[in-house]
Amino acid sequence: MHCDFIELVAPGVRALQPYQPGKPDSEVRREYGLTEVIKLASNENPLGPSPKALAAVRDCLGELARYPDGNGFELKAALSTHLNVSPDGITLGNGSNDVLEIVARTFLTPDHASVFARHAFAVYPLVTQAIGAEARVAAANPPEHAMPYGHNLEAMAAQVDEQTRVVFIANPNNPTGTWLSSTELEGFLTGLPRNVVVVVDEAYAEYVEAADYPDTIPWVERFPNLVVTRTFSKAYGLAGLRVGYAVSHPQVANLLNRVRQPFNVSIPAQVVAVAALSDSEHLERSRQVNREGMALMKSALAGMGLRYLPSVGNFLCVDMGRPGLEIFEALLRRGVTVRPVANYGLPNFLRITIGTERENRKLIETLREVL
């Protein structure tokens, strides 16, 4: 007789639904009998890694029999110089997703709560529920707001009480692309109790060109309860290597590093991330491709009568005016993958990554055909 294993797991895990990533190109080609797939579903850098990063990964292959540096000395040193912060305030992660989970495991318990906004990144409820903590979801901005479906900081602050240990904020937010200004975010942090850890998730920060967008890393000195997370998966084009980091007060970083697994960032990930930081030309080219692609995409969508949300990331969240899944499946059959976001409470929207000019034009052509 088989054991009912569901009865053995932690209560928070029982109802947990795993994060659903976008389908890989190989699976789409195989399933639909396609020879080419344009992937605009996962907000990856269409240019890929920089030439310096590719050279660095080739050079480190001979070291793969060794364990990586568990403390990430060289990568922390490079980040320290790049960001003008102390290495003691840096926590490395297997992507910033890993750091988000580390924060949850460090500060949340079944007796405490986290707060995050509706339509925010799906990992916040996942890491909260896995621990058995209470997830408090604050109402988002209304559709007519200047930042539709974005973070409503007043509603979030109203959810904070003595049981609250962590507040998650995505800036800019995925999947909406909306963002919080420097004035808004600074006021929110100022008004919170200092015993509430505030995680500002800046996965797309390198793409942002809005004048009112805050660089929160220097704020850590003024707000010791602030944790800023970033990643090499987006603008740096290293999603496949999984490397991210957090910047926080050294006392907070010390606690996070107690929970962090000792070899969570591989040798190639550490070496390549250092090389990527040194290639400012590739980063600027990536920003330029995104800037030009965003302008092309916005113009084409407006020409089709489609509304999209404000975005400073490398993607647009587009209102299809009907169930987004229908359009997603029609595009998929034609070899173009985008991301349905019904699981974020936006059933009529699709999230579309900005690709190369060729990829963007293929998406536009195919979308016109489908509509």
Domain definitions of the chain by residue range:
21-48+281-370, 62-277
pTM here is: 0.93
- pLDDT single digits (tens) 54-73: 999 999 999 999 999 999 99
Would you say 192 and 225 are in contact if contact means Cβ atoms under 8 Å apart? yes
Would you say 134 and 12 are in contact if contact means Cβ atoms under 8 Å apart? no
- Write the CB contacts of 258 (distance below 8 Å, at least 6 apart in sequence): 106
Element (H or E) spanning 291, and its range? helix 280-303
Exposure on the CB side of residue 309, measured as CA atoms within 13 A: 33
Give CA angle at 62 (58, 63), nearest 5°: 110
CATH of 62-277, one of 3.40.640.10, 3.40.50.1860, 3.40.50.300, 1.20.58.2030: 3.40.640.10
For the record, the structure tokens of 180 come out as 């919080």
- pLDDT single digits (tens) 321-368: 999 999 999 999 999 999 999 999 999 999 999 999 999 999 999 999
Residue 32 confidence (pLDDT): 67
Q: Of 1-5, 79-83, 175-179, where does mean pLDDT reach its minimum? A: 1-5
Mean pLDDT, range 98-109, rounded to an integer: 97
Element (H or E) spanning 97, and its range? helix 96-107
CA distance 202 to 206: 8
CA dihedral over 291, 296, 301, 302, signed as positive or negative: positive
Long-range contacts of 191-195 (CB under 8 A, 24+ apart): 191/157, 192/157, 192/160, 192/167, 192/225, 193/160, 194/224, 194/225, 195/225
Residue 34 confidence (pLDDT): 73
CA distance 239 to 60: 18
Would you say 173 and 346 are in contact if contact means Cβ atoms under 8 Å apart? no
Residue 33 confidence (pLDDT): 73
On the question of a common fold for 21-48+281-370 and 62-277, the answer reads no
Coil, helix or strand at residue 301:
helix
Count CB-CB contacts under 10 A for residue 257: 18
Query: Starting at the edge strand that comes first in sequence, how are the strands of the sheet with 307-308 ordered?
Result: 307-308, 315-319, 349-353, 339-340
Would you say 363 and 338 are in contact if contact means Cβ atoms under 8 Å apart? yes
Residue 7 confidence (pLDDT): 72
Mean pLDDT, range 130-144, rounded to an integer: 97
CA distance 323 to 199: 32
Would you say 312 and 179 are in contact if contact means Cβ atoms under 8 Å apart? yes
Pick from 24, 7, 29: nearest CA to 240: 24
In CATH, the number for domain 21-48+281-370 is: 3.90.1150.10
CA distance 267 to 234: 20
Residue 317 backbone dihedrals phi, psi, to 5 degrees: -100, 115
DSSP state of 197: E
For the record, the structure tokens of 174 come out as 């995925």
In the block, tokens 């930042």 appear at 147
Q: Specify the amino acid at residue 260.
A: R
- pLDDT single digits (tens) 28-59: 777 767 778 899 999 999 999 999 999 999 99
Residue 186 confidence (pLDDT): 98
Residue 22 confidence (pLDDT): 65
